[in-house]
């Protein structure tokens, strides 16, 4: 039989842990989407990677967020994808490129993306350039910009 103090301690620890549940960033449905394999384009071309990034951007806009999308590509395979969640998640750092890098690193179980390129619908901001730099991304290609892409640089 639990004493009054044991019962009280159990209740208090449950209350103390309750906010942690709220910090979980995703619902079960969102987690299932995050674990789902990425649908690959029929041909592994630059145009197809940009088209995938644009589709992510368009999805973000449809859902009421900012218009950015990005994919991480390794050996012709999309290994990470991201679109802006700044508005929907009230997260000023939820930029497409940063989330794409996180997605690729999680899926590949590595923090070293030095054999990966990023295709983005826009020129990455300094924060995202920093994320690409720390992930050691090889090149970032921006829709409509220089064909050869650019090497991510630390902005500061
Ligand atoms: Zn950014």
- The model's pLDDT over 41-62, given as tens digits with 9 standing for 90+, comes to 999 999 999 999 999 999 999 9
CA of 6 to the centre of ligand 1 (A): 49
CA of 123 to the centre of ligand 1 (A): 8
Residue 9 pLDDT class (50, 70, 90 cuts): low
pLDDT in tens, 74-119: 999 999 999 999 999 999 999 999 999 999 999 999 999 999 999 9
Residue 10 pLDDT class (50, 70, 90 cuts): low
Q: Is the dihedral of CA 143, 138, 153, 102 positive or negative?
A: positive
Chain centre to alpha carbon of residue 62: 18
Active site residue 63: no
Stated pTM of the model:
0.79
CA of 148 to the centre of ligand 1 (A): 20
CA of 23 to the centre of ligand 1 (A): 22
Residue 21 pLDDT class (50, 70, 90 cuts): very low
């Amino acid at each position: 039989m639990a004493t009054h103090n044991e019962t009280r301690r159990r209740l208090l620890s449950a209350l103390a842990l309750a906010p942690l549940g709220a910090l979980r960033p995703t619902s079960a449905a969102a987690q299932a989407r995050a674990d789902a394999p990425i649908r690959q384009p029929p041909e592994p071309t630059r145009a197809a990677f940009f088209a995938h990034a644009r589709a992510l951007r368009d999805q973000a806009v449809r859902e009421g967020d900012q218009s950015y999308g990005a994919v991480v590509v390794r050996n012709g395979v999309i290994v990470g994808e991201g679109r802006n969640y700044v508005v929907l998640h009230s997260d000023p750092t939820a930029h497409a490129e940063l989330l794409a890098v996180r997605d690729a690193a999680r899926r590949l179980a590595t923090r070293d993306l030095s054999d990966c390129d990023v295709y983005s619908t826009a020129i990455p901001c300094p924060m995202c350039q920093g994320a690409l730099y720390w992930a050691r991304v090889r090149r970032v290609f921006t829709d409509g910009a220089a064909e050869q892409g650019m090497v991510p640089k630390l902005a500061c």
